[in-house]
Amino acid sequence: MNNREEQLKAFDRLLTVMDELREKCPWDRKQTFESLRQNTIEETYELASALIKDDMNEIAKELGDVLLHVVFYAKIGSEKGAFDIADVCNKITDKLIFRHPHVYGEQAVENADEVSKLWEQVKLKEKDGNKTVLAGIPEALPALVKAYRIQDKAANVGFDWEKPQDVWAKVKEEIAEFEAEVDSMDEEKATEEMGDLFFALVNAARLYKIRPDNALEKTNAKFIKRFNYIEQQAKEKGLSLKDMTLDEMETLWQEAKNL
C-alpha cells in the first residue's frame, strides 16, 4: 500500500492530467456538467456491479472512473469560478466532522445503530440541512433503493417495528391484499398492492440487515448463469429454447443448480 505522501502525489498527478486534457483534448474540452451526467450514472452502476462481485481489481478500476468524474466536475466548476477541488474536499470534510460529534465532540454512542440514528438527527440541525426527515432522498433513485432509504430514515427517528419478526404479519397482510385485487382483475389496485408488498419486503430485508438491492442483484446473476446454461445446452443439441418443453428446460435448470 502507498503511504500518504505517495497518495497525495498520485492525486496531484490526476489533477495535472485533468488540467492538460481540458486544455488540449477537443473531447474533454467540450464536456459540460450535463454532458457528463449520464456517464457518471453509468460509472456508478459499474462500480456497484464490481462491489457486488467483490472483485478488488475491478473495484479499484471503477473507483478510478468515478474519481475522474469528481475531478472533471470540479475542473469545470473552477473554470466557471464557482468552486474547485479544494472546495469539494473541504465541504465533505466539514460535513463529516459536523456529523460525527461522537468522534469530534462530546456525544457518546455505543454501536453503529446509535451512530446511524445520531447521523439523521444531526443532519436536521445543519444550517443548510434537510428540513424534514425524508428530505434529501434523490427522486431519481431506483425504487428499491429509495424504499430502503425511506424506511431507514424513518427508523432512525424511532418510527420502526419493535422486533424484526413483527414485520412478517405485515408482509402476509400485503400478500393477501394483493391476491384479493388480482382475483378481482383490478389492475390499478393490484399494482398499488404489489407496491405495498414490495415495500413490506424491503422493510423485512432492512430489519434483518440485508440490502434488498444487493440480494436481488445476486439472484439476477444466479438466474442469468443458470439460464445461460440451459441455452448453451440447447445449442449443443441443435435446439432452440422455443423447441424445448418446459420439462426439458426444468431438467437442465436443475443441472445448472448443481454446477
**According to the model, what pLDDT value does residue 186 have?**
82
Q: How confident is the model at residue 128 (pLDDT cuts 50, 70, 90)?
A: low
pLDDT tens-digit series, residues 215-242: 998 999 999 999 999 999 989 988 889 8
**According to the model, what pLDDT value does residue 136 have?**
80
Q: Which residues contact 22 (CB under 8 A, 6 or more apart)?
A: 28, 29, 75, 79
Single-letter amino acid code for the residue at 105 = G
pLDDT tens-digit series, residues 56-85: 999 999 999 999 999 999 999 999 999 999
**According to the model, what pLDDT value does residue 127 have?**
59
Q: Is the pLDDT of residue 130 over 70?
A: no
For the domain made up of 133-213, the CATH class stated in words is: mainly alpha
Same fold, 4-84 and 133-213: yes
Q: What is the 3-state secondary structure (H, E, C) of 132-182?
A: CCCCCCCCCCCHHHHHHHHHHHHHCCCCCCCCHHHHHHHHHHHHHHHHHHH
pLDDT tens-digit series, residues 167-212: 999 999 999 999 999 888 788 999 999 999 999 999 999 999 999 9
pLDDT tens-digit series, residues 93-125: 998 898 888 888 777 777 877 777 777 777 666
Question: Mean pLDDT throughout 8-16?
Answer: 97
Domain residue ranges of the chain, discontinuous segments joined by +: 4-84, 133-213, 216-257
Q: How confident is the model at residue 254 (pLDDT cuts 50, 70, 90)?
A: very high
Tell me the fold of 4-84.
Helix Hairpins (1.10.287)
